[in-house]
Structure formats: structure tokens, C-alpha cells
Structure 1
């Protein structure tokens, strides 16, 4: 029985590590530079493949963001079921917001095609509508999605810190990184900062912690002493 539980926890750790890496990689490839540029109404339609590729990778993020807390639920729920359920709920919410972001991205692509057909006719209308869609996409991606996923990370890093399933320095980095990322999203939401260097710097610690945590879980898994105590 103990070996079966150990094997199950090992599989959970490896799966979580893989999903963390998938989340980081797909996050990088989901960036769509043509949408963020000043002439996005012109370039989005002419670079449709780039937009569709970004949407594809953004959809892959759903599997990672939802799957990470789910893959850890069986292990973490033995320590605090409420927190484990909370992390799953926030992960699912993040997945829903990602899908909303993809829909807005595809609407921007459609708007770009319509702008190309209309030419200079009603240009101000297209600019206004495009600006609203881009603003909505930024709020969904960098506020709603980020906050919900980071809250999921915050919950399971709290459990990691309490249970020592991973080294405390690693879970502490996750707690600090989560707090900094939450601050970045809130500052962006109230327009104190934009998607600039400050925003990126505030998000570096949580990205670094996800990378190190992913490698740790794949290579070493959860702390076996803690798992053995859990089984007694």
C-alpha cells in the first residue's frame, strides 16, 4: 500500500512538473507581436498565421493552468482539502479567462480583415473598436488570468511551505513571487504601470520559481519523509 501511494505521488509530481514547463513554454509562444504593435489593424490580417499560432499556444495554456492544481489535488488534499479545492477552482477560472482571451484575439483578427476591406472608410470606428478589444484582451490576460492562476499558485505554495513536500526555500520563493505578481497585475489594472519593464520585473520571481519547481518535481519529486508521515 505504501509503495502504491509513493508511486502515485511520484507520478503526480512528474505530471505537475511537466505541466509547469508546458505553461511556461506556451506562455512565451502565445505572445503575438503584431497585435501589440501600433499598426495592428493593418498587420494582423497580413500576418494571420502568427495570430493563429499565438491563439493555438494560448489554448494549450488552458491544459497547463487547469491541470497543474488538479494533478496535485490528491497529494495536497490530504493536508488541507479546502486549500487544495481552492487551487483547483482558481486554476479552472484561469482556464476560462484564457479562452476569453483567445476569443478576443480572434475578434481582433476579424476586425483587421474588415479594416483591410473598408480601407480608409470609417477608420476612426475601427480604431475605437480595436482599441477597446485590445484593452479588454490585456485586462483578461494580464489581470484576470494572471490573478486567478497566481492565487492557485499561492495556495499550493502555502501548503508546500507548511508540509515541506518541497524545500521551504523553493515554496518561499513561490510565495514571494506570487505576491509580486499580484501587485504587478493590480498596478496594471489601475494603470499605474503598463506592460513595461516594471511589470516584467515584478513577474520574474514567479516565473523563475515555476521553472525551478518544475525541474525539482520531475527530478526529485515530493519529499518522501513527508509522504511516509502522511501514510501513517
Structure 2
């Protein structure tokens, strides 16, 4: 019999909220910032950008909260890795929040179109800042997620097939993030999106499992030899 406690339910809800807010933010931001006339495009779609930034912020907070919610259940099996997962997902949240700030700054710059070339140069800089912050946030996410899936595998709090699926998804996503970081593929390109699909599906499966099944019956924590 599985235990339905607040930790499993909270983590499941946060997984859904983080994934949904990230997808919604991406849908609103779209390719608005990809063109040459950044500020002109932003000026025409300020409300769309502001809505995207709002969901970026929601995603930042919910992403950071996932590992925090899981920590009490995981620490008895591997306290170091559980704490590492919290640390990296907090880093992820900070950098995703920084990306949201970049979006808000871009909206502010769009109101200064009369500034001419200097404003355009500033807009390009802010766009690069947002992209870089997103990349760092993604790298932190995959590192933190790998750590808690390793603890899940060790503790058997969820089925091992689910843990293995999570580890496979984080490896693919991490490869995609590193390829984007070193310029082998474009950031948020079709290739990167495809390589990120497995972990997106995995996180939703994990969320539903935690909400419906909860954690497996407690297994003895490993003891030192």
C-alpha cells in the first residue's frame, strides 16, 4: 500500500504547474524577440510579452519549489544528493527569474524607441542576457533533476522504470543544452525541443504518479558498511 502524504501531492502539483507555466510562457514569447527590429516587435506586442514574463516568473518559483517539496522524503536515503537537487533547482529558479526580468526590461526599452541606435543596442544586449540566463537555468534544472531521480532509483519511492525514464530524459536534455551552449545547435531550435520532449513527458508522468499513487511504502534507509 502506498502512502498518500502532503509531500507527494505537493510535488505532483508543482511538477504540473512548473511544466505548464513554462510551456505557456514559451507560447506567449514565441519568436517575438528573434527578428532584427526587436524593439519594434516588442512595442506592438507588449501585453503578450508581459503575460509571457508573468508565466516565466511562475515557472521560476514552482521549479525551485519541486526539489524543496521532495527533500523531506529523499533526505533519509541520500541527504547529500537530495540537498544538491534543492540547490541546483534553486539556481534554476534564480536564472529563470532573471530571464523574466530581461523580458520586462525589453518592454521598458520598447517605450524608448526615440532613443534610436543606442536603444537597439541595449535591446540586443538584454536579449542575449535573457537567452544566457535561460541556458544556465536549463543546465541547473537537468543537474538537479538528475540528482533526485538518482535518489528515487536508490530509494524505490517510485517504480524504478519511472526513475530510469527520468534519468534518460535528463541525459538527453542535458546534451541538448550543452549543444546549444557551445553553438552546435540554435537555442530553442527544433533539435533542442525534440531532445527535451522526453523529460517533459516524464515530469508529467511523475506528477500524475505522485498525485494518484503517492510514494511507495518506506524502505529501510541504507546503512554504512
Normalising by structure 1, what TM-score?
A: 0.87
Query: Retained in 2: the 8 A contact 1:95–1:145?
Result: yes
Please state if 1:36 is matched with 2:33: yes
| Structure 1 residue 17, shift from structure 2 partner | 0.6
Aligned to 2:67: 69
Q: Is the 8 A contact 1:19 1:64 kept in 2?
A: yes
Q: Is the 8 A contact 1:27 1:61 kept in 2?
A: yes
State the partner residue of 1:170: 162
Aligned residue pair count: 217
CA contact (8 A) 2:176 2:196 kept: yes
Q: Name 1:144's counterpart in structure 2.
A: 136
Corresponding position of 2:94: 96
CA-atom RMSD in angstroms: 1.9
What does residue 83 of structure 2 align with?
Answer: 85
Q: Which structure's residues are more often helix, by fraction? A: 1
Query: Who is 1:3 aligned against?
Result: none
- TM-score, length-scaled by structure 2: 0.90
What's 1:184 paired with? Answer: 176
1:13 to 5, 8, 14: 8
Question: For 1:103 and 1:109, how far apart are their aligned partners in 2?
Answer: 10
Change beyond 3 A, Cα 1:183–1:65 = same
**Does residue 156 of structure 2 align to residue 159 of structure 1?**
no
Query: Deviation at 1:93?
Result: 0.9
* Structure 1, unaligned runs of 5 or more: 1-5
SS of residue paired to 1:78: helix
2:106 aligns with 108
TM-aligned CA deviation for residue 183 of structure 1: 1.1
Unaligned 5+ segments in structure 2 are none
The match for 1:214 among 182, 203, 207 is: 207
Summarize deviations over 1:97-131 as a string: whole Å, max 9, x none. 1221111111111121111x34xxx33x3333222
In 1, Cα distance between equivalents of 2:141 and 2:65? 11
